[in-house]
Structure 1
C-alpha cells in the first residue's frame, strides 16, 4: 500500500500530471536548444495545443529555463506575485494590524526585507503590533534597522496618511512613483520575466480605474473587492517572445518553427446527452432532430445519423491537424504523452510519427537564460520612467526629433535624478548609475557621466545639490498649470539672506538655452505654477547648462 502523505508538506502528484509536466519540460528544453544552439529568435516560434492546460504547463517550464513567452489567454491578476505584493501593501496600509500582509509587503522588491529582518521585527514587537513596532522612534542603545526596514519606516507612514485621503489609483500611482517600484522589480526578477512583472503592476493600476466602473472610492473597498473575486488581466503581447496559442487561435498566423503539443491525448469517454440533427444541405428544414442520452446505446433508427456525426467529428479533427501543420514555414515539431488507453482511430501522433525524425536536445550544462532582442529590451527600460504618457507641447520642446543630443540630455537628466535622490557613494556605484542611464536612452556612458559630474561639481550649481542652505529638494516634481500636468526637473528651497527662496531648475545641455523662446516660455510656466502654490514665497527660475552654469530667467 502507498504510504501516508502529509498533505501540508507533500503535494499530491497524479501519474498523468507528472507525465504531462515531463512533456512540457521536454518541449521547453527543445525551444531553449533552438534559441541558444540554432540562433532562432523566440518570436519565430509558435507552440500550439488543442487544450490550454498544456500551454499552462509549458509556460511554467519555459519560465524555469528562462525563455520569454507570451500566452494567448487572460490570466488571473492575483496569479502574478507583483500584483499580490501590491495588494498586500494596500491591505497593510488600510489595516495595519494584518501582520501577514505587512510581512509580504516588506519581503517584496519594494523594500527587500529578509527573513531575518522579519524575525527581528517580530521580536521587537513582542507578540504585539508589528506596524507600531516598525514605525515607532528608535530608542537609545537599540540596534539599527536594516536598510530595507529603514526604507519601510520612511515610506509606510507617509503612504498610510495618504491612504486616508486618496482614491485607490492615486494612492497606487504615488506608491509606484515614490517607491520606484518598477525599477526595483525590474532589477529583481530575471530578464525573461521582467515584462510580465511590469505588466502585472500596470494591470493593478488599470483595475483601480476599471473595476466595477471605478466605483470603489477608498483603498479599503478596492482591496476587499479584489479579494472577493477572481479578476482577469489581459496578457499583453510581446514581439520577442515564444507565442503560446491554441490551434484554433493560430488560424491565419505563421511562424518559422511550430511545436504542436499533446498530439496523442487520452480518448474521451463516450458522449452523453448528444443532440443529433439530420439536416441535408439542400433541405430547407431538418429531417430529424433527436436527443440521445448515450451514444453507446443509440437507437437503431438513429444509427445512420450518428455515423454522419462521427464522420463530421473526424473531418474536424483532420482539419485541426491541417491548421496546425500549415502554420509552420520551415520546421514542424510534434510532442505527445503516451495515453493509458488508445482511441479507436489514429491520433495526430500516429499519423505523423512514421514520417518524422527525432528531435535531438542539447546535452550538458543547465539551460542558460535566453535574453530578448535588444530593441524590445530598450523599450521596456523606457517604460520604467515615472513620466506620464501625456502630450505636453510646452513641456518638452526638444523631444522631437529624437537626436543624439536629445538622447544625451535625457540620459544626463536621468543620472542627475538618480544621483541626487540617493547619493551614489562609491565610484563603482556612480559608474553603474551612469551606465544604466546611458543604456536607457542609447547614449554614450562616458559622456553621460562626464556632463553630470560637471554639473554636480560646479561651484555655480553646488548650492542646489548640497550644503547648509539646502532646506528641501525634489526631482521630477509634478505641478499643475492651466489644467496641464507639468514636471519640474529640480525644485529646491534655499535659505538665502532675507528669507527662504524657491528655485525652479531646468536642465539644458546647450550653452545658451535662454536664447530659445520655447525654453524660456516653458521655464516661466513652471515658475508661475510654483508661485501659485507658494503665494507668499519668493520664486526664482534658472537653466542649468551642460557646462555647470546657472542662467537665471526673469
Structure 2
C-alpha cells in the first residue's frame, strides 16, 4: 500500500509541475484557486461579495465539498455562529436525485446546507409531468426501497400528481422480463438479449407511438451502444446521446494520432494506435512485422518503411507506409484544418463509417475537432505542439461535450440514466440495470480509508503455493462501498422512473432458478428482486416468449417463483446494520397507532437526532445556544414542529442531559465490525466515558408513544440493536473493560 501511495503522490506532483510549467489549470483548479484567493485576499473577497445581493444554487444535491466551500466564501453567514440565518442564499434541489457520487458529489451536503441556512425549507412534492396513475406506481416502487436503506438520511416524500390532462390509457408501468437463454451464456450476451427485447417491443409499438416520444435509458454507456446498434439494425430512427468524453472518442483519437505521428515519426504509441485504427486497419500480426523490421524493436515511420521493403506483397503495410509518408510531407505545406480533412479523404475514413450507428455523431465530432484546431492555431504564438496538447485527453474526467448534429426530429432518444436527468419523455424504457457496482484492487471509504486486495495464494519459502488468510479490512471496505452503491442505485432508479410522462417499461433479466434457489441479481435490479420475483408483482409483466400483434411480447398475469424447495440453509447476510435488527412486530405496531405517516415519523426522528447531535458536538454547535439549534433543525410542518419541541424539551430538561455535559462524548459515530463473513455497521447516537474503562451508549428513540408500558414493549424489541452496539464498541475499543447501553424514549419525560 505504501508503494501505491508513493506512486500516486509522485504522479500528483508531476501533474502539478506540468500544469505550472504550461501555465494551465484544470477544472478543479478553477474552484480550488478561487477559494484559496478568497482565503488569502480578504479585501478581494469583500469586493466579490459586494456585487452579490442574492445567490441561488440550482441542482444543489450534486454539490461537492469544494463547491460548497466556495459557496461559504460567497455567503460567509453560513459559517458565522453569530448569524443563525443565511437569508441571501437559496438552494434548489432534490436529494433523491443525487446521482453524481463518482464526481465527488456528496448528498449529505444538501442536509448540511439546509441546516446552515437556518430558514424553513419549502418542499414541493407535486409533479406536473406525470399522469397521476404513474406517480402512484413510482411511489409503490420507491417508497419501500428508500425505507430499507441502511442509512435512512433521505426520507422518501411521495409524489403528488398535479397534471390534470392526460389520455385515458396514460399512467401505466409494466415490467419487461427477459428469461435466461441457451444462446446467452455470459452476462454480455444476456445484456444484448435483454436490450434486443426492448427494441422488439419498441418496434411493435410504432403503429401507435411516435419514435420521437420514446426514450431508452441505460445504466451504462455500453448499454447505449448496444441499443444504438440494435435500433439501427431494426431500421428505427434514433439519436444516441454519448454525453461527455469528447476527447476520448475513437475518431478524435485517430485524428490526434495522425497529427502526432506526422509531427514525430518516432512516436511509438501514436504509430501503434494509427496503424490499428480503421484508417489503416493493420492486424496484430502485421504490426508485429513492423515492430520487428528493425533492430530497435520500436514502432515508428522508419520501421514502417523497412517493413514495406521487406514485405512488398503485404498491401496493407505498403499502403500505410505510402500514405503516412505523403501525409507527413503534406502537413508541413497545408493549413492544419485543411490537412485533417485531406488525411480523412486519402485514408477513406468516411467509408469506414458505412453501417456504423455512430456515423452522424462521429462526423459531428470531427467537425467540432477541426473547429477547435482552427481556433487554437489562430492564437498568437501557437505551435503544432500547442494544437496537439489542446486536443489531447485532459485527464481521467473528460468533460468536453460531443459535437452536435441535426438528427431526425422523430427519433428514439437513447442515453444513460445520468444523461437523462432533467429531461422528460412520454414513453420511457429503462434497461441494462443489472450491471454490478464498482470492483477493483484498491477500495477507499470514509470509515476504513484505503485498502488493497491481496492475492489469494502466495509462494512459500519452500516453493509451495499456499493460501493467504482473507484480508478482512479490504473485505469490510468492499461491503461498505457496495452499500454506498446500493444507495446511489436507489436514487438512479428514482431519476429513471421520473423521466416518464405517460408510460414506463422496466426491463429486467429473470434470475436463474437452480435447485429451487433464485440466482443472484445485481445493480439496480437487486432493489426490485423482492417486488418482482419473490412476491406477487403489483404491475403487469411482459415476457418475450409469446407473440402479440406487431411485436414479440404478451401481457401475462404476475407469477411468483416457487421457493418452497430450498434445501440449503440460507447463507449469512453480507451486511447488516444494528438498526435493522429492530423490526417492530405486527402486534406491537397494532398496539401503538402512530399519529404520523412513515415519512413524517422519519422526518421527526431525523430532526430530533440532528438537533441533539448539534447541541452535544462542539464542532456542530458553532457558538449557538440550545434554543437556536432547536429552532434551526425544527421541521417545517406545524404539527411535527410542536411534537419535535416536546421531544427536545424532554431531553434537555432531564438530569441525563446535565450528566452528558460532564463527560467526554462520542456523538453520531459510525462503527463497523466483521462477524465471520458478515459486515456489521451501526451509528451510535451518543456514547460517554463514565470512567476511563467504562463507556456507556445512549440511543435516542423518537417513537410516538404515550405510556411507560409502550416503552417497555419497545425495549424488548430494541434489545438486539443495543446488544449489537455494545459488540461494535468492543470491537473498536477492546481495551475498555465495561460497555453498557440505554434506550432514551424522547416522547416521554426522562428519568434515570
TM-score (norm: length of structure 2)? 0.31
TM-score (norm: length of structure 1)? 0.41
